[in-house]
Amino acid sequence: MSNADLLKELRIERHQRDDHAGGGGRWRWIVGAIIVLLLLGGAGWVLLGHRAVAVQTAVAATPSSDSEAGAVLQATGYVTARRQATVSAQITGTLTAVLIEEGDHVSKDQVLARLDDSAYKAALDTAKAQASAAHALVAQYQAQLAQNLRDAARQRSLAAQGLVSKQAAEQAVTLADSTRAMLVSQQKTAVSADAQVTEAQVNFDYCVVRAPFTGVITTKDAQVGEIISPFSAGGGFTRTGVGTIVDMDSLEVDVDVNEAYIGRVKPDMSAEAVLDAYPDWKIPAHVIAIVPTADRGKATIKVRVALEKKDARIVPDMGVRVSFLEVKPQAGAQVPQGVLVPAAAIVQRDGHSVVFVVEGAQAQQRTVNPATQAYGELRLLPAAVKPGDSVVVAPPSELHDGSDVQMKAEKP
């Protein structure tokens, strides 16, 4: 029933005047209905006027440096070593000494382990003895050749004088030539014996495992008494390495960049790396190369990033976040004052730039003056908002100062 109908009902017709005394009950019912309608309307207005507005919020962050101003892209990855090796012996043998532990710093050619060398030492001694015998025979043939050459010359002289037959002179020459051939053969045998000595010496030297380059031991994979071999054999009972060494000067970062944004990354582009373990430490970096292959499953492309400052705190497989910068940050740059908020959090109200800060369950409107410098998708607010404040992202038109709000999940 509308208000007009109710008012019509309140009219007292002429034929009702005579019955006024007996119609008091109906009058009271009409008045009560009007009061109830008015109460319901007022309650609805109050409830609708103070309905909580669903909003999405983001946390105002403190800018760490001016380098973030030129960040065009961020990606995550891991610290990797371009120079890393599992050190093993080149022969099969039993370990008699392991001289490394995890975390040890080693230099190039430093002894890391030793193998049982008794068999190789015997083989080396045998090869040396055979080489000595071969060289002794060479000396013997040289002496014999010299004597045969003198005898041949003497026989030729006597044959010319008719004192001996020409056949005797020819036999003396033939004997000298034969001795010369035997000398050449024995010299070749001596060279072969020397090569066998070299081979035996190399195998003997393989019993000592040395560091291939300067670095840090990251794993120790074998103990004294175990057999190591360059080949995987023995059903898993043979070790293939003594330990792993990493060249800490070769550490860099590998990040996976979404292929949709790879066009923003260029070789030699300036960057900034932040380790997950040290979030307040920013490391200058630059792009080494964009690996020309894509991961079909993740739709990403690997980018190699060089760390321009080395530190003992940086270790392989650390998680890292890399910001790719438009320009290289200047040394000693001042940290901008204020907070960073999403650009969508800033709206116009009555000709002024404002943001809505959530305090408790209400939105508080604050007038702001954003800085002109762009920070990617963020804007710098020098005042009016404090670090850690929750600001409303893309405030709806019905949101006003003092409105009750119902927060959705915050954006990271």
Question: 131: pLDDT confidence band, cut at 50, 70 and 90?
Answer: very high
Q: What is the mean pLDDT of residues 300-325?
A: 92
Strand 251-258 relative to strand 282-295, pairing: unpaired
Q: What is the mean pLDDT of residues 153-169?
A: 89
pLDDT tens across 236-273, in order?
A: 567 888 999 999 999 999 999 999 989 989 999 999 99
pLDDT for 215 equals 93
pLDDT for 52 equals 76
Question: 29: pLDDT confidence band, cut at 50, 70 and 90?
Answer: low
More confident residue, 405 or 251: 251
Strand 111-115 relative to strand 362-367, pairing: unpaired
CA dihedral 142, 146, 148, 151 (to 10 degrees): -170
Question: 136: pLDDT confidence band, cut at 50, 70 and 90?
Answer: very high
pLDDT for 301 equals 94
- Assess contact for 82 and 306: CB atoms under 8 A: no
Q: Which of 70-79, 208-217, 240-249, 369-378 has the lowest mean pLDDT?
A: 369-378
**Residue 173: is its pLDDT beyond 80?**
yes
Place of tokens 């000298």: 176
Q: What is the mean pLDDT of residues 30-53?
A: 60
Phi and psi, residue 109, nearest 5°: 70, 10
Q: Which of 44-53, 313-322, 363-372, 382-391 has the lowest mean pLDDT?
A: 44-53
Question: 162: pLDDT confidence band, cut at 50, 70 and 90?
Answer: confident
Mean pLDDT, rounded, of the chain? 83
pLDDT for 344 equals 87
Rounded Cα distance between 392 and 356, Å, is: 6
Q: Which CB contacts under 8 angstroms, 24+ apart, belong to 33-42?
A: 33/1, 33/6, 34/6, 37/3, 37/6
Tokens of 45: 């207005």
pLDDT for 329 equals 60
**Residue 28: is its pLDDT beyond 50?**
yes
Q: Which of 67-71, 215-219, 271-275 has the lowest mean pLDDT?
A: 67-71
**Residue 10: is its pLDDT beyond 60?**
no
Q: How many angstroms from the chain centroid is the CA of residue 33? A: 75
Rounded Cα distance between 93 and 116, Å, is: 6
Tokens of 321: 């976040």
Phi and psi, residue 350, nearest 5°: 55, 40
Rounded Cα distance between 41 and 258, Å, is: 56
Question: 330: pLDDT confidence band, cut at 50, 70 and 90?
Answer: low
In this structure, which amino acid lies at residue 300? T
pLDDT for 382 equals 85
Rounded Cα distance between 303 and 294, Å, is: 10
Q: What pTM was computed for the model?
A: 0.56
pLDDT tens across 78-128, in order?
A: 999 999 999 988 898 999 999 999 999 999 999 999 999 999 999 999 999
Question: 62: pLDDT confidence band, cut at 50, 70 and 90?
Answer: confident
pLDDT for 312 equals 87
Percent of the chain predicted with pLDDT > 70: 80
**Residue 231: is its pLDDT beyond 70?**
yes
Of 308, 315, 124, nearest in space to 203 by CA: 124
